[in-house]
Chains A and B, each alone.
Chain A
Amino acid sequence: MSNQDFLRRLPTTGQDLRRRARIQQRLHLDFALIFLLLLVTVYGLIVLYSASGQSASSVQRQGIYFLVGYIAMFTAAQVPVHVLRRMAPWAYAVGAVLVLLVLWIGVGAKGAQRWLSIGGFRFQPSEFMKLAVPIAVAAYFGQRLLPPRFKHVVVALLLTVVPAVLIARQPDLGTALLVAAAGLMVLFFAGLPWRYIAIAFGAVLLSIWPLWQFVLHDYQKRRVLTLLDPESDRLGAGWNIIQSKTAIGSGGTSGKGWLQGTQSQLDFLPEGHTDFIIAVLAEEFGLLGVLILLGLYALIIARGMAIARKSQDSFGRLLAGGLSMTFFVYVFVNVGMVSGLLPVVGVPLPLVSQGGTAVVTLMTGFGILMAIATERRRVTRHI
Chain B
Amino acid sequence: MSESHRFKDHHREERIFFVRTVIAGVFVVLGLALLIARYYSLQVINHQDYATRSDRNRIHVQPIPPTRGLIYDRSGELLAGNRPIYILSLVPERIPDLDHTLERLKPLVNINPSDLEKFYDQLQQPRKPFEAVPLRYQLSEAEIARVAVNEFLLEGVEVEAQLVRYYPQQELFAHSIGYVGRISQSDLARFDEDDLRRYSGTHSIGKNGLEAQYEQELLGEVGNQYVETNARGRILRVLSRVDPKPGADLELHLDLNLQRTAAQALEGMRGAVVALDVKTGGVLAAVSLPSFNPNLFVTGISFADYRALNQSKDLPLYNRFLQGQYPPASTIKSIIGLAGLHHNVVDAEHWVRDPGYYQLPNSSRLYRDWRRSGHGPRVDMMQAMVESCDVYYYDLGHRLGVDAMHSFGSRFGLGQLTGIDLPSERRGIWPSREWKRGARGSAWFPGDNLNMAIGQGYALTTPLQLAVSTATLANRGKRMLPQVVRSVGGVERPPIVADYLEVDDKHWEFMLSAMENTVHSQRGTARRIAAGADYRMGGKTGTAQVVAIAQGESYDSDTLYERHRDHALFVGYAPADDPQIAVAVIVENGESGATVAAPIARKVFDAYLRQQYAQPLPHQEPLAGLIGGQRLGGSR
Which A residues contact B (CB, under 8 angstroms)?
144-147, 185, 188-189, 191, 243, 245-253, 262-263, 266-268, 282, 286-287, 290-291, 294, 297-298, 301-302, 305, 308-309, 314, 317-318, 321, 325, 328, 332, 335-336, 339, 341
Query: Is B502 an interface position by the 8 A CB rule?
Result: no
CA distance A78 to B31 in the complex (A): 33
Which residue of chain B lies nearest to A328 when distances are taken between CB atoms in the complex? B28
Query: A-side binding surface: helix, strand, loop or mixed?
Result: helix
Cβ–Cβ contact B57 & A268, under 8 A? yes
Cβ–Cβ contact B58 & A341, under 8 A? no
Write the nearest CB–CB distance from A139 to chain B, whole angstroms. 15
B50: chain A residues at CB < 8 Å are: 245-246, 248-250
Cross-chain contact of A341 among B27, B38, B53 (Cβ < 8 A) = B38
Within 8 A of A (CB), among B528-542: none
Cβ–Cβ contact B24 & A325, under 8 A? yes
Cross-chain contact of A249 among B9, B13, B21, B47 (Cβ < 8 A) = B47
Within 8 A of A (CB), among B62-111: none
Cβ–Cβ contact A282 & B39, under 8 A? yes
Cβ–Cβ contact B13 & A146, under 8 A? yes
CA distance A6 to B16 in the complex (A): 36
CA distance A247 to B3 in the complex (A): 57
Cβ–Cβ contact A191 & B16, under 8 A? yes
Cβ–Cβ contact A309 & B18, under 8 A? yes
Given contacts A262-B228, A298-B28, A314-B13, contact A336 B38 (CB under 8 A): yes
- Which of B3, B54, B55 gathers most chain A CB within 10 Å? B54
B24: chain A residues at CB < 8 Å are: 185, 188-189, 305, 321, 325
Given contacts A146-B16, A305-B25, A332-B35, contact A250 B47 (CB under 8 A): yes
CA distance A147 to B38 in the complex (A): 36
Query: Is B43 an interface position by the 8 A CB rule?
Result: yes
Cβ–Cβ contact B42 & A321, under 8 A? no
Query: B-side binding surface: helix, strand, loop or mixed?
Result: helix
Query: Is B8 an interface position by the 8 A CB rule?
Result: yes
Which residue of chain A lies nearest to B13 when distances are taken between CB atoms in the complex? A146
Fill in one digit per residue for B18-47: 1 if any A CB lies within 8 Å of its CB, else 0. 101100110110011011101110111011
B236: chain A residues at CB < 8 Å are: 266
Given contacts A246-B57, A266-B58, A287-B43, contact A252 B36 (CB under 8 A): no
Given contacts A246-B54, A262-B54, contact A252 B25 (CB under 8 A): no
CA distance A321 to B18 in the complex (A): 11
Besides A191-B13, A191-B16, A263-B57, 15 other A-B contacts (C-beta < 8 A): A146-B13, A147-B16, A188-B20, A188-B24, A189-B17, A191-B17, A249-B53, A252-B47, A263-B54, A267-B232, A282-B43, A291-B36, A298-B32, A309-B18, A321-B24
Cβ–Cβ contact A332 & B31, under 8 A? yes
B8: chain A residues at CB < 8 Å are: 145
Write the nearest CB–CB distance from A283 to chain B, whole angstroms. 8
Query: Is B506 an interface position by the 8 A CB rule?
Result: no
A294: chain B residues at CB < 8 Å are: 32, 35-36
CA distance A282 to B6 in the complex (A): 53
CA distance A253 to B38 in the complex (A): 13
Which residue of chain A lies nearest to B229 when distances are taken between CB atoms in the complex? A266
CA distance A188 to B24 in the complex (A): 9
Cβ–Cβ contact B34 & A341, under 8 A? yes
CA distance A325 to B36 in the complex (A): 18
Which residue of chain A lies nearest to B33 when distances are taken between CB atoms in the complex? A294
Cβ–Cβ contact B35 & A335, under 8 A? yes
Query: Is B122 an interface position by the 8 A CB rule?
Result: no
Cβ–Cβ contact A341 & B54, under 8 A? no
Cβ–Cβ contact B17 & A317, under 8 A? yes
Query: Is B231 an interface position by the 8 A CB rule?
Result: yes
Kindly list the 8 A-B residue pairs having the minimum CB-CB distance in the complex, ordered from nearest: A249-B50, A250-B54, A191-B16, A249-B42, A266-B230, A287-B43, A250-B51, A267-B231
Which residue of chain B lies nearest to A308 when distances are taken between CB atoms in the complex? B21
User: Can you give 12 A-B contacts (C-beta < 8 A)?
Assistant: A188-B24, A191-B16, A245-B42, A248-B43, A248-B50, A249-B50, A290-B36, A294-B35, A301-B28, A321-B24, A332-B32, A341-B35
B6: chain A residues at CB < 8 Å are: 145
CA distance A318 to B14 in the complex (A): 11
Write the nearest CB–CB distance from B14 to chain A, whole angstroms. 8
B46: chain A residues at CB < 8 Å are: 249
Cβ–Cβ contact B43 & A253, under 8 A? yes
CA distance A51 to B243 in the complex (A): 35
Query: Is B558 an interface position by the 8 A CB rule?
Result: no
Cβ–Cβ contact B40 & A287, under 8 A? yes
CA distance A192 to B417 in the complex (A): 101
Query: Is B49 an interface position by the 8 A CB rule?
Result: yes
Cross-chain contact of A189 among B21, B32, B34, B229 (Cβ < 8 A) = B21
Cβ–Cβ contact B44 & A247, under 8 A? no
CA distance A252 to B39 in the complex (A): 9
CA distance A36 to B31 in the complex (A): 20
A298: chain B residues at CB < 8 Å are: 28, 32
CA distance A80 to B352 in the complex (A): 142
